[in-house]
Structure 1
Amino acid sequence: MACCRKINLLRTSKLALLSSIPQVGRVHHRVPAAAAAGLLRHCSSSSAHDNASRYPVPPKTDLPNDIVEVMDEVETKGGFLPNVFKALSHRPEEFRAFFSYYNALMNKETGNLSKADRELIVVATSAHNHCLYCVISHSALHRIYSKKPNLADQVAVNYGTADLSPREHAILDFAMTVCRSENVTEGHFRTLQEHGLDSEDAWDIAAIAAFFAMSNRLAHLTDMRPNAEFYNMGRMPRDKGGKGDKGKGGSG
């Protein structure tokens, strides 16, 4: 029964995770189950070419079915499998916990933060933590959600001089206070309130900054590198004929 509950929880999380993967460019047809089962079978500690992890990446035949299902669905919808899925598959229980909390923070439907706001928090705090993987992958998602091809690049270098709105500045100031483990004061909350953000939004900002501080450090530990597909995602607008940006979506 406990095993069934775990599988059901991950399937629920998977649906939320898949909803966060932008479809950009050509639509990919669903891969037949038999073919999908072999897509990543080659992944192992010798698969250094994909820059997934310095730790062994288990063959899919050795992974629990619920995790294989998540990986297949993400790759089928996005066109590639982000390296974070491969790296975390080294520890299946932590894979489940990580993506469950990821979905709770990044894909929630309540509050006053947009998906673009959430991704910008990840970019700013991950840049402070020198995390190449998270800066590149979440800059890609920000470009797609915001339709602003340059802003995430500016934030990654110096958010203080980026072309941010006063509201975005307030969000990132609060996020960076948490990221740097500085004291959070009532003044911080008042500043957010001036921009229409309440105490629950403050919790969301802080939780995203805290969660990705952990993610950044795991990326350092595993020497995780961004998939090549992330670099060009969202940089060129699509025209009405579907041409233009040919990047493929994926969760960072």
Structure 2
Amino acid sequence: MSRLTTPTADEVPAAAQATLDGVRAQFGFVPNMFATLAANPAVLDIVMTLQGKIGRVLDAKTRHTVALAVSQANGCDYCQAMHAYVSSELGGMAHDDIELARAGSSTDPRRAAVARFAQRVVETRGQVSDADLAAVRGAGYTDAQIQAIVTVAVVFLLTNFLNNVNRTDVDIPAAGAANTAA
């Protein structure tokens, strides 16, 4: 059960309503994480702004890979469900790739290096080793791209922390659920 107050539809501050309307348009519903964040429109705006900005720094499958790897390493059940759903339904990732990303790997060698590196960033609280940097560089990532990987990881850590503190009730359909209707 969630531990922070989620405003009802009638209680959502006016400053958060347009954002929630956009989320509803994207997902077809307002996921619990966003509904809860609406209690503080400034926090909701920060999360949405950061999520919008990271869309510019890495390709979508790499961002999804980081999100899955970080959420698994951080033990965030809500974010694991959300990112599995988004990766599958909006990002076109196969179930096997989603599971590999959670495990710090991928069928794509470059994304496997990113997944491992993102998990090392979480596990070491950013105190990665020279070998960790060498591995991601060896996969062809530049220092500028490594900065982007760390930035994306930290944005997902923020939502992991918010959802872990709240113990947000998982309301995300299982990945693939939208495609199972006959």
Q: Give TM class, smaller chain.
A: 0.7 to 0.9
CA distance in 1, matches of 2:27, 2:160: 22
CA RMSD in angstroms comes to 2.5
Alpha-carbon deviation of 1:96? 1.1
Gaps of 5+ in 2: none
What SS does the aligned partner of 1:178 have?
helix
What is the aligned partner in structure 1 of residue 14 from structure 2?
65
1:209 maps to 2:153: yes
Aligned pairs for 1:161-172 (under 5 A) are: 163-172=106-115
1:132 maps to 2:81: no
Alpha-carbon deviation of 1:234? 6.9
Q: 113, 116, 120: which one pairs with 1:177?
A: 120
Higher alpha-carbon deviation: 82-91 or 205-214: 205-214
Larger proportion of helix: 2
Q: 65, 68, 75: which one pairs with 1:120?
A: 65
CA distance in 2, matches of 1:189, 1:215: 25
CA distance in 2, matches of 1:226, 1:188: 33
Change in CA separation of 1:103 and 1:77 when aligned onto 2, cut-off 3 Å: closer
Which aligned segments of 4 or more residues in structure 1 are displaced greater than 6 angstroms? none
Change in CA separation of 1:226 and 1:64 when aligned onto 2, cut-off 3 Å: same
What SS does the aligned partner of 1:232 have?
coil
Structure number with greater Rg is 1
Change in CA separation of 1:189 and 1:154 when aligned onto 2, cut-off 3 Å: closer
What is the aligned partner in structure 1 of residue 101 from structure 2?
155
Give the TM-score normalised by structure 2: 0.83
Gaps of 5+ in 1: 1-50, 237-243, 247-252
1:96 maps to 2:45: yes
Task: Assess if the C-alpha contact under 8 Å between 1:125 and 1:213 holds in 2.
Answer: yes
